[in-house]
Structure 1
Amino acid sequence: MEQAQHLSANNTMLPLSMIDDLPFGNSRRSRNEAKYNEMKNSVMKRGVIQPVLVRPAADRFEIVAGYGRLSASRELGLTEIPVLIKPLSDAEALEHQIEENVNRESLSIIDECKAVQQLSAFYNGDRQAIADRLVWSSKKVNERIEILKCCEEVLDAVSWGSITVGHALLLAPFSVKLQQGTLKKIIAEKWTVSYLRQRASKGQQYLTLAKFDTQDCNLCPHNSEAQSGLFGLDSHKAACSNISCFKEKTNQWLETRKVELSEQYGTVLLVQQINEADRNSVDALTVGETQFLTGCQACEKRVVLIDDRLGRSLGSTIDNQCIDQICFNKCIEALTTTPPLVSSVSEKNNEELPESSVTTEKAAPQKGASSKTKTTNKPVSCAVPKKVVETNKAILRETSAELLMPNEHFQLAMSYAALKRLCTGYTATSSELASPTHFEETIKSALRVSVEELKAEIINATLHLATKQDAQNFSMTDIMINCMSFADNARQVAVAKWNPTKALLAEYTVGSLTALCIKAGLDTAMNNHEAGSFNKAAASGKGKFIDTIIATEFDWSDFAPDEYLALIK
């Protein structure tokens, strides 16, 4: 295969015909044409001096960083280009791309906003994780996300220099209609940021658009309806002139709503945080019933989006959104059969979610989606929530200690590894123990030699131990779990150790709990006892659902979640 000829070297010349764009494109929204032409002239005279970054993809390669150099080479009719080949995940590729653009030529503010928007999909909206990866301050990330609340006209005006970022930040909280109208006045009348701030502080929000309880607003002096009543004026549509108070109460309502939604989905993101091109509606029709019920429902990449802009769209939600474009495409491709339609538990849940006066937008099915529910024989894809993974690891670490600590061989292996970690320049006499350098590999190698040989090595290491210490970072939890394979009946003991306690189940979302019960067979057991009882329990809210799961007489002894068992190497 042609690709293999180039993989043997990290730095090589690669035909332009073998390089494709990334699935999510380039994070730069625009480029400086003058600088681009300058670079293009340089390529014409000297060729491409600095390699572009590519990653292997199937039997070809995808451009990660160096879009400008690649574009210039194509326009100039070059046939090959120097490349640095590096295997990268989608998240890593996007991060490299953003860092390249930021370091080579500063991204515009709007480009930075769009970059943060793309990373939000990879990091499930974790702003601190985005800030850490880009080496930005949390304030900088928060400002970029706030600007994303602006309509496209405002964002374009910032890009063109018609208004400043300060103008955009003041416009961001308001409705699209108000943003558009105010933008025209800012440009036409050349409003300063200071003047806009004054105008914004005097703005009003109709109380009919409020999502919070407005009972306390009836006698508030900032309520225009209360004012008209006091002075005998004609009644009119009630509006609040204390925008900061309106926003504060709205944010409190949003936080409560996010908690309600997080029980079902786990992750609640702002509509503006995720670009529409980076999300897809997911259900049993688009990815198949098995994948949806036992995979997507439990996946942390299935999120709900909520609009927090003041205006008519405030509080509206879009549910069942998959923000892993690559995985979504793989699930679509994996469909193999189209049996009759079977209504899903998720659909039932969504119908009975508490509305709280919030309109929920149901996205249209994907183009080409069958009218029948599809299933697949392919493995189910699911990104397990981190909290669930950590809880599973904690259970398995305790299990591994129970299995391994009574074992003299393991005790000696731990002792030897700890001694060797403290040694500087020590070389083991055993060939099996001579090569490992990491703490975990040292333990595993020690478990492969005989007890007598290990004891002799411990004596040698103790004699060699010097005053200098070698500090290494490692996870003892992972080490203990990965050593479980040296114990007898490790898998059986681990399965028996897992029990669906209330505290453990509380870390799952409703979707994850539903998938868990279906895999275990609890749904069948409940429905055999009373038809439809499982769907009813799943739609009753997270707390009641967990209580029902625990109260149901069911034998869990031979079951443990796939994500739990997958941790056992």
Structure 2
Amino acid sequence: MIPIGMIDALPFGNSRRVRNANKFTELKASIAIRGVIQSVLLRPAADRFEIIAGYGRWLACLELGLTEIPALIKPLSDEEALEHQMEENLNREDLNIIDECKAVQQLSAFYNGDRQAIADRLAWTMKKVNERIEILKCCDEVLEAVTNGTITVGHAMILAPFSTKLQQGTLSKILTEKWTVSYLRERASKGQQNLALAKFDTAACNTCPHNSAAQSGLFGLEDQKAACSQPNCFKEKTASWLEIRKAELTEQYGTVLLIQQIDESDRNTVDSLVVGEEQFSVGCQACEKRVVLIDDRLGRALGSTYENQCIDNLCFSKCVSALTSPTPIIENEELLVAALENELGNTTPTISTETAPLKAKKAKTEVSCVVPKKVIETNKAMLRQTSVDLLMPQECFQLAMTYAALKRLTSNYKSINKELSNPNRFEDTFKAALRLNVSDLKAEIQNITLHLASIESDQTINITNMMIDNITFAADAKAVAVAKWIPTKEILSEYTIGSLSALCIKAGVDKAMDSKKEGGFSTASSAGKGKFVDAILAAEFDWSGFAPDEYIALIK
């Protein structure tokens, strides 16, 4: 039971956007009579708690003036908390389809627009995910009409591809003239698209019989604006243009999302003024959470791009806060004690601040960055091989691997050595065995071999992570691992242009290029990824002793 006054909302709020007023009234009445039956989910936050799931129950208790609430407390990261919250809301029976769409939108930011990952996480079909994302193309008025039940999802799906202005005008006619879905589909199929707003090459449209401009001057008609009377053809050509445009933008950003996939409240424009020069140049530019959004709605906004969009609200807030509220660090511990004594009223400090003034320096903030998954996997593969090279010659390593493999085949085995009595997972068993001396390990292997008649068991093993986790068992592991990292064309091509720029700035390649030719680095980075990679490899720069931060971070 947790006091209500010790509970706060999560920094990113509740993912449930709409609450049924009648249901909430019923919930309050039930709590007033029976109390809270199902515990809310909280996570520790300093000396207080933050609510993850059970907002309705919490709010009801607040309104009823209750002093405590039953709670399950779990230490969760921001990402885990968001997942728990969304799962709680998505499993509600009264969750409407627009709430589902908004949840998918939040997950799009979480999974960088990976629709398959969203489908897997929700145990939905790809068709269902695609439908929810398609509906999000609708303007707010259309979405509200679906929520209120004045139009159906079928109406919304037909309206989705069109411009906001056309959606709003058509919605009014649907409501006043009671258009059915089939009638709306028929009307939409006859809609003309203004060719002046087309993004694709319209040269072939000039001689197309479906171009209304061909009717100009015929039978006394006034000059006609060029408009396509074949909406399907217009949409197909637009879709092809969008794919080409997305491919161009992918080189720079890595992730290109459609604008309706990310809610406006879940994205922020990031630049050096907002988060600081260092964070932006070597953190944000290399981060896969920095994306570009492209508008695929038909109309004047079609093809509009919104660059440098951060889709990690929590990280963005922390970076902004770190820039605007630096924490001073007192360089001398004795001076810090003296300063505290003064503040508490001690008029005779042990050290005079007149002769030894306190020196505060700006706290060095850690650069935040979510590195692209392909880069991480390449780094892991490289470090795994480095670990093999370092550990294989050691007899203890080979014996530890043998023991862990045998242990995995047994159940209820009681080890001779107490250091091996607790681990159950293959990785933990291997790590514990690796720290024993050779003679003890040989005795353990002989003993477990005799025990192989026991019942077999199975566990999941991640050998790559296991090898990397234990690489420091070898002498000079970090130095050897750094020496193994050599930039090749294949490795550099896995980075986006932004993350390549950040990599070069960290290593000092930018200065090497600029010393050879003024502005050389800027010119190379704006020439496209292929040419940029070639320029980096051609630069007169000694990479020895350098490895990327994300590579080093894997060595624990």
The normalised TM-score by structure 2 is 0.91
Which of 112, 116, 130 pairs up with 2:100? 112
SS of alignment partner, residue 91 of structure 2: helix
Which of 473, 493, 497 pairs up with 1:486? 473
1:319 aligns with 2:307: yes
Q: Which one-letter code corresponds to 1:387 in the other structure?
A: K
SS of alignment partner, residue 166 of structure 1: helix
1:552 aligns with 2:539: yes
| Residues 299-350 of structure 1 deviation map (CA, whole Å, 9 limit, x = unaligned) | 1111111100011100101111111111111111212699xxxxxxxxxxxx
Describe how 1:333-412 pairs up with structure 2 within 5 A: 333-335=321-323, 377-412=364-399
Q: What CA RMSD, in Å, does the superposition of the two structures yield over aligned residues? A: 1.7
Which of 66, 88, 97 pairs up with 2:85? 97
SS of alignment partner, residue 323 of structure 2: coil
1:205 aligns with 2:193: yes
CA distance in 2, matches of 1:20, 1:226: 65
> Given that residues 50 and 82 in structure 1 are in contact (C-alpha distance below 8 angstroms), is that contact kept between their aligned partners in structure 2?
yes
> Given that residues 123 and 130 in structure 1 are in contact (C-alpha distance below 8 angstroms), is that contact kept between their aligned partners in structure 2?
yes
Which of 140, 153, 177 pairs up with 1:189? 177
| Residues 425-452 of structure 1 deviation map (CA, whole Å, 9 limit, x = unaligned) | 2221112222211111111111111111
SS of alignment partner, residue 486 of structure 2: coil
Deviation at 1:473, TM superposition (A): 0.6
1:67 aligns with 2:55: yes
Deviation at 1:470, TM superposition (A): 1.6
The normalised TM-score by structure 1 is 0.89
Q: Which residue in the other structure is 1:9 paired with?
A: none
1:563 aligns with 2:550: yes
Deviation at 1:492, TM superposition (A): 1.0
CA distance in 1, matches of 2:47, 2:225: 64
1:43 aligns with 2:25: no
Which of 497, 519, 532 pairs up with 2:519? 532
Q: Which one-letter code corresponds to 2:474 in the other structure?
A: A
Query: Which deviates the most, 66-75 or 503-512?
Result: 66-75
Q: 1:537 to 1:465 in 2, by over 3 A?
A: same
Which of 256, 279, 282 pairs up with 1:291? 279
Q: Which one-letter code corresponds to 1:399 in the other structure?
A: T
> Given that residues 12 and 314 in structure 2 are in contact (C-alpha distance below 8 angstroms), is that contact kept between their aligned partners in structure 1?
no
Q: Which one-letter code corresponds to 1:16 in the other structure?
A: I
Which of 453, 466, 471 pairs up with 2:440? 453
Deviation at 1:419, TM superposition (A): 1.0
CA distance in 2, matches of 1:46, 1:467: 51
Q: Return 5+ residue gaps in structure 2 as ranges.
A: 327-361
Q: Which residue in the other structure is 1:277 paired with?
A: 265
Deviation at 1:507, TM superposition (A): 0.6
Deviation at 1:92, TM superposition (A): 2.5
Q: Which one-letter code corresponds to 2:487 in the other structure?
A: P
Deviation at 1:240, TM superposition (A): 0.9
SS of alignment partner, residue 406 of structure 1: coil
> Given that residues 336 and 376 in structure 1 are in contact (C-alpha distance below 8 angstroms), is that contact kept between their aligned partners in structure 2?
no
> Given that residues 337 and 376 in structure 1 are in contact (C-alpha distance below 8 angstroms), is that contact kept between their aligned partners in structure 2?
no
CA distance in 2, matches of 1:23, 1:424: 45
Deviation at 1:16, TM superposition (A): 1.5
CA distance in 1, matches of 2:411, 2:45: 42
CA distance in 2, matches of 1:104, 1:235: 56
> Given that residues 223 and 239 in structure 1 are in contact (C-alpha distance below 8 angstroms), is that contact kept between their aligned partners in structure 2?
yes
1:240 aligns with 2:236: no
Describe how 1:222-261 pairs up with structure 2 within 5 A: 222-228=210-216, 233-261=221-249
SS of alignment partner, residue 56 of structure 1: strand
| Residues 240-299 of structure 1 deviation map (CA, whole Å, 9 limit, x = unaligned) | 111111111111111111111111111111111111111111111111101110101001
SS of alignment partner, residue 307 of structure 2: strand
1:515 aligns with 2:498: no
SS of alignment partner, residue 81 of structure 2: helix
Deviation at 1:469, TM superposition (A): 2.8
Q: Which one-letter code corresponds to 2:204 in the other structure?
A: D
Which of 152, 160, 177 pairs up with 1:164? 152
Which protein is bigger by CA-based radius of gyration? 2
> Given that residues 42 and 74 in structure 2 are in contact (C-alpha distance below 8 angstroms), is that contact kept between their aligned partners in structure 1?
yes
Q: Which one-letter code corresponds to 1:168 in the other structure?
A: A
Query: Which deviates the most, 521-530 or 171-180?
Result: 521-530
| Residues 343-364 of structure 1 deviation map (CA, whole Å, 9 limit, x = unaligned) | xxxxxxxxxxxxxxxxxxxxxx
Q: Which residue in the other structure is 1:26 paired with?
A: 14
> Given that residues 15 and 81 in structure 1 are in contact (C-alpha distance below 8 angstroms), is that contact kept between their aligned partners in structure 2?
yes
SS of alignment partner, residue 62 of structure 1: strand
CA distance in 2, matches of 1:232, 1:462: 99
Which of 528, 548, 551 pairs up with 1:541? 528
Query: Which deviates the most, 553-562 or 93-102?
Result: 93-102
1:440 aligns with 2:413: no
Q: 1:398 to 1:48 in 2, by over 3 A?
A: same
> Given that residues 390 and 471 in structure 2 are in contact (C-alpha distance below 8 angstroms), is that contact kept between their aligned partners in structure 1?
yes
SS of alignment partner, residue 55 of structure 1: strand
SS of alignment partner, residue 444 of structure 2: helix
CA distance in 2, matches of 1:211, 1:302: 25
> Given that residues 412 and 454 in structure 2 are in contact (C-alpha distance below 8 angstroms), is that contact kept between their aligned partners in structure 1?
no
Q: Which residue in the other structure is 2:483 paired with?
A: 496
1:53 aligns with 2:41: yes
Q: Return 5+ residue gaps in structure 1 as ranges.
A: 1-12, 339-374
> Given that residues 290 and 376 in structure 1 are in contact (C-alpha distance below 8 angstroms), is that contact kept between their aligned partners in structure 2?
no
SS of alignment partner, residue 334 of structure 1: helix
Number of residues of Structure 1 aligned to a counterpart in Structure 2: 521
Deviation at 1:106, TM superposition (A): 2.4
> Given that residues 215 and 224 in structure 2 are in contact (C-alpha distance below 8 angstroms), is that contact kept between their aligned partners in structure 1?
no
Q: Which runs of 4+ in 1 moved over 4 A?
A: 227-234
> Given that residues 221 and 227 in structure 1 are in contact (C-alpha distance below 8 angstroms), is that contact kept between their aligned partners in structure 2?
no
Q: Which residue in the other structure is 2:110 paired with?
A: 122
1:474 aligns with 2:474: no
